[in-house]
Amino acid sequence: MTGSSGLLETDAGNGAIHDDEVVLVFPPAMHPTSPPLGIAALKAFLQMTHPSVQVRAVDLNLEFHRQAASWVQEGRLRMRISGMDADLAAVKIAEVNRFLQGEEGFASFLELDRYNVAASFYEKYASVLHGLFDHFCRRTLCDLTVPPLAERFLRELIQPVLRFSPRIAGFSILFSQQLIFALAMAKILKEHGVAVVLGGATLSVMPHPEGLLERDFPLQVGGEWHRVDSRRILDLMVLGEGEVGISRLLGQLGGELARVPGLVYRQNGRVVSSPPLMIPDLDALPLPDFSDFDLSGYLSPLPVLPYLSSRGCFWGRCAFCTHRKTYLAYREESEEQTAARLKELSVRHGVIHFNFVDEMIHPRRLARLSRELLGQDAEITWSVYAKPTGSFDPPLMERLHRSGLRLVMWGVESGSQRVLDAMGKGVRAERAGRILTFAHHAGVWNLVFLLFGFPTETEAEWEETLRFLEKYREAVHAVSKSRFVLLAGSKVMKDPEKYGITRVLERPERDLVSIAYDYRIRSGLTQEEVRRRFQEQLPRLERVGKSPHFGIFRDHLLLHASAFRVPEGGFPRR
């Protein structure tokens, strides 16, 4: 079979999607430490709005890592890692996978020396694995020669999706590194007559996502540019929040695609789109359905479930951020429902660890949520993203700890007040440090996000951040560090001169996964100076916190934090 234009009639602008099998796919390549929330939530919503449609959720990212591990052990996939020959690397890969899945026991997983050795090796292995298959996927998309074993790997990988003979496959792309894998998988599905729909947060932050549906788009392979015919890969895209768009799409019976919110499609040789819609009442959404996932198969000794209790960002003013583009407005689920649903998920799946993936949860909401969790006797542990503002005082942090909070991932970003003000963070550096101490004394662990190289930042201001880390080192359990990246849709991009950028540089050809722009600045550290200085400072940054790997493996950090016990009598107050 070739393609699926007969199903969607996308070039005509209308079509009929009948009640049939729909598979929602989370593609490679991410670290598989917990199941994907997006397709679990979409599955539940489609089952509610289209009860006659068979909906499956496939974590192809987990399948990718499982298949790679299996091929390595069988000798079909041979990799050299950290100077090891392929045979020794295969033994080490199996050993590290077993360790991270907890097969040696939870107590062993909590031994930081052993954990750091395993996590370090796994990062190197995953980097080689992801890079290797990103290259093969690019060659597949460009109709270039691919080693027979690589082609067999990709075609074997897609079998969990084809097993259900879907009429439609919907890919949820959370991060840009998943896009190439998704498109390669989509190309194979199209050969089998499956209609392919792309959605997810990455599409909302791409400079020109509609380009994926143009007749051909540029793709770089090994330093050379090629053109890819999108008609052989994709049918449609849904931008923004996906529930209403994909539900309306399934409900089209000969109607116009223009009536589907957030849809990007081809019409009479042009790519057109319709405005997105949102669901104003989050309490009306069904409980995410994780039933299709093998929770014991993830690289974690105990399962951690993601949960989203609000959409958008309560603050929404950070100049570097583009997360606001995914959501049309800020909304909250009621705290009563959040607490009840966490308890229900805990009972249904036998899970007690939850990671809130809200953009941020403000202290008033956390205060209400802690009261609900305590009132419902929800015996869970949880983590959140938050901004260190004045309302986080010792009594609140202590009550949050009693309700099960064990980890807060704080958007600190900088130790320089001038840089924080330029970013629009609404954070006072010294107050942020005191809040870290309050949390630490309450038994809550702190992950600190740091962003280096914001436009006009100087070497002296960079050093202020390093001194901030040293001053509050005892209360910092993990660091997530990154360099400033200029992204389409950010406030910096909309008004670059305000932020000291004199010129934004557009590239002659832009790769699909390239969402950043180069720029020139009026003062402060240049892009190249930031790159060099950041690389030089990495060893110093990685010495802060319990493990240099917790900034990446945040589910693992939650498990370590949950196992920590506050000393009898509490921490000494300073």
CA distance 393 to 552: 28
Helix segments in 110-260, DSSP class H: 112-141, 148-157, 159-162, 179-191, 201-205, 242-251
Indicate the domain borders of the chain: 5-61+146-273, 66-141, 302-563
Output the pLDDT for position 498: 97
Angle at 438 between CA 434 and CA 439, to 5 degrees: 120
Q: Considering the entire predicted model, what is its pTM?
A: 0.93
> What are the beta bridge partners of residue 505?
518
**CB proximity list for 88: less than 8 A, separation 6 or greater:** none
The span from the CA of 190 to the CA of 175, in Å, is 23
Alpha-carbon distance of 236 to 224, in angstroms, equals 28
| 490: its two tokens | 């950010």
- Nearest CA to 222 among 144, 127, 129, 130? 144
C-alpha–C-alpha distance, residues 249 and 259, integer Å? 9
Cis status, amide bond into 29, omega within 30 of 0: yes
Residue 545 vs residues 190, 284, 425, 452, 479: alpha-carbon distances, Å? 47, 40, 23, 18, 7
Nearest to 266 by CA among 229, 241, 319: 229
Tens digit of each residue's pLDDT, the chain (574 residues): 333 333 444 333 333 444 458 999 999 999 999 999 999 999 999 999 999 999 999 999 999 999 999 999 999 999 999 889 999 999 999 999 999 999 999 999 999 999 999 999 999 999 999 999 999 999 999 999 999 999 999 999 999 999 999 999 999 999 999 999 999 999 999 999 999 999 999 998 888 888 899 878 889 999 899 999 988 899 999 998 999 999 999 876 456 788 899 999 998 889 999 999 989 999 999 999 999 999 999 999 999 999 999 999 999 999 999 876 678 899 999 999 999 999 999 999 999 999 999 999 999 999 999 999 999 988 999 999 999 998 999 999 999 999 999 999 999 999 999 999 999 999 999 999 999 999 999 999 999 999 999 999 999 999 999 999 999 999 999 999 999 999 988 999 999 999 999 999 987 777 777 788 999 999 999 999 999 999 999 999 999 999 999 999 999 999 999 999 877 777 765 4
For residue 508, the model assigns a pLDDT of: 72
- Tokens in use for 237? 């895209």
Q: How confident is the model at residue 268, as a pLDDT?
A: 86
At the fourth CATH level, which superfamily is domain 302-563? tm_1862 like domain (3.80.30.20)
Which SS3 state, helix, strand or coil, does residue 165 take? Answer: coil
CA dist 305 → 355, 456, 508 (Å): 6, 39, 42
The DSSP result for 420-461, as a single string, is: HHHHT----HHHHHHHHHHHHHHT-EEEEEEEE--TT--HHH
Task: Please report, as a single letter, which amino acid is at residue 458.
Answer: T
CA 382 to centroid of chain Cα atoms = 18
CB atoms within 10 A of CB 560: 21
Q: How far is CA 425 from the centre of its chain?
A: 22
Pick the CATH number of 5-61+146-273 from 3.10.20, 1.10.3470, 3.40.50, 1.10.287: 3.40.50
Alpha carbons within 13 A on the beta-carbon side of 525: 21
